[in-house]
């Protein structure tokens, strides 16, 4: 029995209305967001990509989304409802949605699931995709090291997961290489999106002497605080320059649209297969917003050169010698970090004095 017939039978059993033109309906694609679409950060970039999908496919797709979904039972419920309502492809766009996506995938083997920044594939209908954000953080680390006057860089961190720890390490290594006197101050807010907490963290870091702020959180609050206090900052996920025209040096941009279009086309062509991709500058999934003109010309040129070198595979941001925080060797001279090490990273590199919270 074909999937659409099964969907129709299921819908009738549940007492739901069934369209007589079910077979001609557009492909239904669902998006599950951990934050609000107006966060100007992570979720905003995924929703911008969803809109690109609609523009690209026109009437061939019907997209829907649910925003501000807590990780856990709520996410599983939302994905279950999407599957029951005929969605054939569901994008679960937060790290913590992994168990939920796999649980629902087990019950709906004909529905395809794509999990952003995930690492668990328990079923053939679950695919993983991620961006090499650490490449962008290497570049902004270099810029920060060159721009700081207090030699103190503040970092607002979300959760102590490998993705975030990896970003801190990459930024620190390149800030330190650009300026040996640099030190990092790190505040964990245990949230992806909490403007009040992020603003408080930004204020606290400035009070500790930071004149450059970085963030792995999604609101524009730190940029606004930086602008108010006359310090510099980097946006997260999307261009946040509107919230701090003077403060905003650049931002790491998350470009999900081309990947979403490619995967939706694969479903339409019946060629979709579960995969595990990790793309960066080379594939265009990671980019930088325009560099603020306050960045000296030579520093801008260095940043552009670094982007080109990473994209060409000529430079890897984690190239040894690099030691762990306790001084033990991690990467030897010229050795580059395996992806597995990065995806499981649970330690700081040598020179960071903070501790990773449990």
* pTM summary value: 0.90
pLDDT score for 130:
96
What six digits make up the tokens of 172?
């620190």
CB 141 within 8 Å of CB 174: yes
pLDDT score for 282:
98
Beta strands in the chain, from DSSP E residues, in sequence order: 27-32, 61-66, 89-92, 112-116, 126-131, 152-157, 183-188, 212-215, 232-237, 248-254, 276-279, 286-288, 322-323, 329-331
pLDDT-based confidence at residue 73 (cuts at 50, 70, 90): confident
Distance CA(126)–CA(188), nearest Å, equals: 31
Instruction: Give every CB contact of residue 230 below 8 A, 6+ residues apart in sequence.
Output: 246, 247
pLDDT score for 23:
47
User: What torsion, rounded to 10 degrees, do the Cα atoms 278, 281, 287, 288 define?
Assistant: 130
Phi and psi torsions of 310, nearest 5°: -65, -45
Nearest C-alpha neighbor of 348 from the set 226, 192, 167: 167
Distance CA(353)–CA(153), nearest Å, equals: 13
CB 156 within 8 Å of CB 215: yes
pLDDT-based confidence at residue 9 (cuts at 50, 70, 90): very low
Distance CA(149)–CA(77), nearest Å, equals: 49
CB 195 within 8 Å of CB 166: no
Query: Please, what are the domains in the chain?
Result: 3-131 (3.40.50.2300), 133-252+287-343 (3.40.50.2300)
**Alpha-carbon distances of 135 from 14, 85, 181, rounded to whole Å:** 48, 39, 22
Tell me how far the alpha carbon of residue 56 is from its chain's centroid: 23
CB 103 within 8 Å of CB 123: no
Compute the C-alpha angle 130/202/208, nearest 5°: 120
Is 258's pLDDT higher than 90? yes
SS3 assignment, position 170 = helix
pLDDT score for 203:
98
Q: Over the stretch 148-178, which tens digit does the pLDDT of each residue have?
A: 999 999 999 999 999 999 999 999 999 999 9
**CB atoms near residue 13 (< 10 Å):** 8
Phi and psi torsions of 52, nearest 5°: -60, -40
Q: Over the stretch 194-209, which tens digit does the pLDDT of each residue have?
A: 999 999 999 999 999 9
Distance CA(263)–CA(239), nearest Å, equals: 25
């Amino acid at each position: 029995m074909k999937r659409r017939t099964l969907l129709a039978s299921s819908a009738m059993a549940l007492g739901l209305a069934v369209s007589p033109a079910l077979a001609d309906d557009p492909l239904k694609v669902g998006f599950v967001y951990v934050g609000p679409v107006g966060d100007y950060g992570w979720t905003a970039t995924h929703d911008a990509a969803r809109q690109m999908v609609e523009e690209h496919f026109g009437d061939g797709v019907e997209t829907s989304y649910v925003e501000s979904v807590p990780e856990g039972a709520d996410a599983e419920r939302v994905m279950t409802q999407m599957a029951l309502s005929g969605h054939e492809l569901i994008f679960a766009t937060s790290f913590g949605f992994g168990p939920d996506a796999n649980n629902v995938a087990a019950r709906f083997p004909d529905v395809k699931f794509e999990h952003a920044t995930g690492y668990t594939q328990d079923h053939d209908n679950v695919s993983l995709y991620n961006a090499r954000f650490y490449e962008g953080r290497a570049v902004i680390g270099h810029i920060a090291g060159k721009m700081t006057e207090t030699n103190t860089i503040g970092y607002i961190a979300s959760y102590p997961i490998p993705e975030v720890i990896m970003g801190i390490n990459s930024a620190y290594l390149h800030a330190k290489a650009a300026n040996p006197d640099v030190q990092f101050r790190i505040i964990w807010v245990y949230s992806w999106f909490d403007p009040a907490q992020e603003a408080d963290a930004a204020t606290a870091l400035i009070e500790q002497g930071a004149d450059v702020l970085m963030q792995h959180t999604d609101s524009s609050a730190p940029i606004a605080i930086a602008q108010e206090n006359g310090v510099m900052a980097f946006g997260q996920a999307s261009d946040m320059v509107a919230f701090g025209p003077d403060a905003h040096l650049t931002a790491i941009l998350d470009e999900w649209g081309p990947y979403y279009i490619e995967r939706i086309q694969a479903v339409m062509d019946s060629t979709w297969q579960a995969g595990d991709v990790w793309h960066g500058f080379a594939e265009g999934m990671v980019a930088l917003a325009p560099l603020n003109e306050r960045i000296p010309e030579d520093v801008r040129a260095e940043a552009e050169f670094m982007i080109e070198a990473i994209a060409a595979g000529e430079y890897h941001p984690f190239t040894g010698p690099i030691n762990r925080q306790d001084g033990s060797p991690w990467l030897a001279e010229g050795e580059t970090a395996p992806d597995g090490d990065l995806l499981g990273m649970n330690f700081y590199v040598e020179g960071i004095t903070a501790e990773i919270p449990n």
